[in-house]
Amino acid sequence: MPTVIAIDGPAGSGKSTLAKALAHKLGYIYLDTGAMYRALTYLALQDKLDLADEKALSKLAQANPVRFKARGRELEVYIGNKEVTKEIRLPEVDKNVSEVSAHPRVREIMVAQQKAIGAEHDLVAEGRDMGTVVFPVATLKVFLSADAKTRAHRRYLQNKERAQVAGSSPSQSEEEIYQAIIARDAYDSQRESSPLKPAEDAVLLDSSHKSEDEVLNYLLKLLEIHEAGGINGR
Ligand code: DC
């Protein structure tokens, strides 16, 4: 059976950086499940769908499975043959993705696609329900958090870097990002269907005062212990 490492946590906690580094180190595939909900949101906005219409969104998700292509450590995201890697990070998508991902039927479709990928490949999977719903028997479950100010600051720096590469300037201030993160956390944690919460057997990690390397090295140590039969005997 393939090995899955599940990394969950709120927006901006450092999940993506950690998951990418871990996948690279272990030679596993990196699965960004947030990108799947983002791609669907982008498509729905393009099609001017009513985001409260669960049936229409489910149909759209079913008909347009998201595909990933690895480029170095990064993932290119596609819907059909159209690349949407940049578009799914637009503030408009940030603002609406929580509503789209809260629909139970939409989640069912995404979860089935994620499980199918996990059945075929060794994975580092990041999201909100990796440890609780999608991969309940994951080898290692991590719930990564950080305080909201730290997360907003990291997101701002990330956006600034992306904008510099594109020769533009960031479209949101740090304060705007902070407000958006707080709103998204509240929505993601309070929804009825698979709310954001740590699995009972997850390792809880607060990255507010830790460097990326410190978090990565800590997890690599945990995996070593696990391989020696230490973590829950799983
Ligand atoms: O990780 P992210 O910020 O790219 O995720 C975007 C949104 O998708 C997030 O607000 C909640 C949702 N999401 C989810 O509900 N379940 C997942 N497994 C991943 C993301």
* Residue 59 belongs to domain with CATH number: 3.40.50.300
Give the position, in ligand 1's atom list, of the atom nearest the Cα of 101: 15
Nearest ligand 1 atom to alpha carbon 134: 18
Q: Identify the pLDDT of residue 233.
A: 45
Whether residue 233 is contained in a domain is answered as no
Q: Is the shortest distance between the CB of 17 and ligand 1 below 6 Å? A: no
- Is 234 a domain residue? no
Tell me what the mean pLDDT of segment 152-162 comes to.
88
Q: What share of the chain has pLDDT > 70, as a percent?
A: 98
Residue 228 lies in a domain: no
- DSSP state, 141? E
For ligand 1, atom 2, name the residue with the nearest CA: 34
Q: Which long-range contacts (CB under 8 A, 24 or more apart) does 173-179 make?
A: 177/152, 178/148, 178/149, 178/152
pLDDT in tens, 183-234: 988 988 899 988 899 999 999 999 999 999 999 999 999 999 887 776 554 4
230 within a domain of the structure (yes/no): no
Q: For residue 132, how far is its CA from the centre of ligand 1 (angstroms)?
A: 14
36 inside domain: yes
Assigned domain for 216 exists: yes
Query: Total structural domains in the chain?
Result: 1
Task: Determine, yes or no, domain membership for 139.
Answer: yes
CB 11 within 8 A of CB 103: no
| Cα-to-centroid distance, 128 and ligand 1 (Å) | 6
Express each pLDDT in 76-105 by its tens digit: 999 989 999 999 999 899 899 999 999 999
Please name which of 21, 4, 10, 34 lies closest in space to residue 206, comparing C-alpha atoms: 10
CB atoms within 10 A of CB 175: 10
Condensed to tens digits (0 to 9), the pLDDT of residues 171-195 reads 899 999 999 999 988 988 899 988 8
Per-residue model confidence (pLDDT) at position 65: 94
Give residue 147's domain range: 4-223
pLDDT at 5 over 60: yes
When pLDDT is averaged across residues 25-51 and rounded to a whole number, the result is: 97
Q: Is residue 232 part of a domain?
A: no
pTM: 0.91
Through-space distance between the first and last CA atoms of the chain, rounded to whole angstroms: 13
